[in-house]
Structure 1
Amino acid sequence: MDWTDRRKRFRAVLAGARCVHPGSVFDPLSARIAEDLGFEVGMFAGSVASLAVLGAPDLIVLTLSEFADQAYRINRAGKLPLLVDADHGYGNALNVKRTVEELETAGVAALTIEDTVLPRPYGEDKPALVPIDEGIGKMKAALAGRQDPHLVVVGRTSALAVTSVEDTIARARAYEAAGVDAMFLVGARTRAQVEAISGAIRIPLILGGVGPELTDLDWLAAHDVRISLQGHQPIMAAVQAVHDTLKALRAGTPPAKLANIASSDLMKRVTRDADYARWTKEFLGVG
């Protein structure tokens, strides 16, 4: 498949003047729904992947192959530009290069590489960051692994939540100098923090885990934030819906009496039933 068009559309979001919320997706159907509803980009997080693939919490027990396979399933289902959370690149800088190669092949439009020490070392009860020089090496390796120049490589740091604004700026500047296309900040709580960092670098910002001061899309757009995550409620809503439906069935509720079941029309839309009906007629001569 040709993944370049969606990567160009993702770059257009970064180059634009607006800030958008991505649609948090976890499988082909959720990605199609986000695309049909008009989301400019999708987001596939590491925590969501761990839930969807393993049914496990976000403890870095998911492998690169498992993550890339699920990203490919999402990407082949439609044309939604997909931003993925590639965590720490599944190891050192050499692993980062391999991670980028695999995720580019899987069709992602953009990926983040973070500078957190992962998985958490023995005896360490608080998140920690790798030294800046190691982070720079990871960013350079990510860029070296990129074959399609349209693929977006995003540096990511949790320094705002772990160290300080000053350290965040130092890391952002270093990763910008290494060549990343944007900076993903985790844990921004105040406008002053965003102002300080956006004023220190020239590349656009992506935010995750923001505080209540940072919900105005117009203000964010004016300070070079192009994407702001809202969380990953869709998969949690799906878990609740499955739980409630199975609980009702187990309790004896007749299937016809179940609440909040997708209509036949919705199921046909998200499964692209009309396309398959056309192909069946064209290729099998029936229908």
Structure 2
Amino acid sequence: MRTLRQKLAGPGIVVAPGCHDALGARILEQAGFEAVYMTGNGLSAAMLGAPDLGLLTLTEMASRARAIAGSISVPLIADADTGYGNLNNVARTIAEYEAAGVAALHLEDQVTPKKCGAMSGLSLVSTEEHAEKIRHAVKTRRDPDLLIIGRTDSRLVLGLDEAIARGQAYAKAGADLVLIEMLQSEEEMRLAVRSIDAPLMFNSVDGRTPALDAATFESIGFKLLAFPLSSTLAYARLMQRFASDLKQNGSTAAWAEALLPIHDYEGVLGLSRYA
């Protein structure tokens, strides 16, 4: 299997839809995607039924990363929040995510505890403080194929110029890719790609970033594209409809065509591989 680093070194863009569990990851792999993204927002919803406010711990995130990575053969890209503390915490985050089998992780420049990057009221650490985290993450990784993604959430807080400046600083600090969260137009995206001396990742967040397709993101120059929350939003909407219908009718008969047949479900899980 080619590493994610090798995939990104080739032509085109790698698309990594987000998921919050191993079942979703297996379905995405079986659909033909080359990589999968582990969403912190989705994990907070799935594990706690709570918003993404930095409530999950490193051990909880790494444990879920291990389960997801172990269920698929394609690379897993994982949200690692702020690294869960200072430089010592960042080093442990790298070790735990490496042991979990993660192919790439991103560290964001918010204060701890963080918020979802699409929320208002974000607070950021200094550029140099986060650049030092990136340098330390690169220094302490043992697997040279583990990709460190320097993420900045400064676009909505401090503006585009500052976001690009931070992206440049994180690239200079050794980040393998740079992620500027919440770019608001194609023009902003193209400027970021031109201005930063590193491959760029983009998080396409439904309702908060331009609704472009993968081919357009590729033409702009992005190398890695994630749809971090889309599958969790789809799951939540489907569950709302399912719960409402079951409560009203007392039966799942109306869902006969919509439900995955048990045999197909067992196929997704690879039942035939087990004794």
TM-score, structure 1 as length reference:
0.85
Q: Distance in 2 between matches of 1:92 and 1:275?
A: 43
Q: Structure 2 vs 1, CA of residues 128 and 266 (structure 1 numbering), >3 Å: closer, same or farther?
A: same
| Residue of 136, 150, 154 corresponding to 1:155 | 150
Partner of 1:284: none
Give the residue type in structure 2 aligned to 1:226: K
Superposition pairs of residues 55-204 of structure 1, within 5 angstroms: 55-119=49-113, 126-204=121-199
Contact 2:160–2:188 (Cα < 8 Å) also in 1: yes
How many residue pairs are counted as aligned between the two chains?
Answer: 267
Q: Distance in 2 between matches of 1:201 and 1:254?
A: 55
Partner of 1:22: 16
CA displacement at 1:41 relative to structure 2: 1.1
Q: Distance in 1 between matches of 2:141 and 2:166?
A: 21
Q: Distance in 1 between matches of 2:25 and 2:166?
A: 32
Give the residue type in structure 1 aligned to 2:145: H
Pick the structure with greater CA Rg.
1
TM-score, structure 2 as length reference:
0.88
Query: What stretches of structure 1 move > 6 A for 4+ residues in a row?
Result: none
Give the residue type in structure 1 aligned to 2:198: I
| Residue of 35, 41, 48 corresponding to 2:42 | 48
Q: Structure 2 vs 1, CA of residues 144 and 252 (structure 1 numbering), >3 Å: closer, same or farther?
A: same
**Structure 2 residue ranges without an equivalent (≥5):** none
CA displacement at 1:61 relative to structure 2: 0.6
| Local SS of the residue matching 2:223 | strand
Partner of 2:271: 273
Q: Distance in 2 between matches of 1:267 and 1:120?
A: 36
Q: Percent identity?
A: 33
Contact 2:39–2:228 (Cα < 8 Å) also in 1: no
| Local SS of the residue matching 1:184 | strand
Q: Structure 2 vs 1, CA of residues 30 and 219 (structure 1 numbering), >3 Å: closer, same or farther?
A: closer
Partner of 2:212: 215
Q: Structure 2 vs 1, CA of residues 120 and 77 (structure 1 numbering), >3 Å: closer, same or farther?
A: closer
CA displacement at 1:68 relative to structure 2: 0.7
CA displacement at 1:117 relative to structure 2: 1.8
**Structure 1 residue ranges without an equivalent (≥5):** 281-287
What's the RMSD between the two structures over aligned residues? 2.2
Give the residue type in structure 2 aligned to 1:68: A
CA displacement at 1:246 relative to structure 2: 4.0
